[in-house]
């Protein structure tokens, strides 16, 4: 972690930024992603050193927005075409799938909606989607169990038929 490279003589830095003092916070964070983002931001250090504070702040906000766009687009592009994660995002941001529309087109529209930032995440729609998915999984499990029972009964019937033929011969 970058904390190890902080100055040992900087008392504030050592006291306030030690990650070991904040275990409860770090359980909820992806620290590897944070470190990668921190390193990415560090590449702009020489540029912002010569800017005033307001310009530097504006520039870094702009760069953060562009970085988030790139990360979001990469994430969506790599989702499985028929996977639950893509469907959940589609439902959450109310992006409909048109008849005959390709998965890539749906992904592009979803990326546009997310990056525009104007459509809120619909938790009620996601909750309903998750409940429907749970019901489908339960129904699929029941169907599989019924198929096993039918197959077992059919095998038992076939075995009984063979035994009857053997006895009558």
Residue 25 included in any domain: no
**Enclosing domain of residue 159:** 124-169
From residue 150, how far is each of 109, 154, 155, 159 by CA, in Å? 45, 6, 8, 14
Residue 56 included in any domain: no
Asked if 129 and 95 count as a contact pair (C-beta separation under 8 A), the reply is no
Residue 161 included in any domain: yes
Residue 153 included in any domain: yes
Residue 161 reports pLDDT greater than 60: no
pLDDT in tens, 108-147: 888 888 888 778 888 888 888 888 877 776 776 777 777 7
Residue 132 included in any domain: yes
Residue 39 included in any domain: no
How far apart (Å, rounded) are the C-alpha atoms in residues 71 and 69? Answer: 6
Residue 139 included in any domain: yes
pLDDT in tens, 16-71: 777 777 766 666 666 777 788 888 888 888 888 899 889 999 999 988 888 888 88
The total number of structural domains that make up the chain: 1
pLDDT of residue 80: 86
pTM beyond 0.85: the answer is no
**The dihedral of CA 56, 57, 58, 59: what is its sign?**
positive
From residue 11, how far is each of 14, 18, 100, 148 by CA, in Å? 5, 11, 62, 68
Residue 152 included in any domain: yes
Q: Residue 78, CB half-sphere, CA atoms under 13 Å: how many?
A: 6
């Amino acid at each position: 972690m970058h904390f190890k490279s902080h100055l040992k003589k900087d008392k504030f830095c050592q006291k306030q930024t030690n990650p070991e003092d904040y275990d409860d916070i770090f359980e909820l964070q992806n620290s590897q992603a944070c470190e990668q983002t921190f390193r990415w931001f560090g590449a702009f250090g020489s540029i912002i050193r010569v800017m005033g504070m307001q310009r530097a702040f504006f520039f870094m906000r702009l760069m953060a927005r562009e970085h988030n766009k790139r990360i979001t687009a990469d994430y969506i592009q790599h989702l499985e075409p028929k996977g639950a994660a893509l469907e959940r995002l589609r439902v959450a941001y109310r992006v409909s799938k048109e008849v005959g529309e390709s998965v890539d087109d749906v992904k592009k529209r979803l990326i546009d909606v997310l990056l525009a930032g104007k459509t809120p995440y619909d938790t009620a729609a996601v909750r309903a989607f998750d409940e429907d998915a749970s019901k489908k999984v339960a129904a699929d499990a029941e169907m599989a169990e019924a198929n096993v029972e039918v197959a077992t009964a059919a095998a038992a019937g076939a075995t009984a038929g063979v035994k009857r033929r053997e006895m009558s011969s």
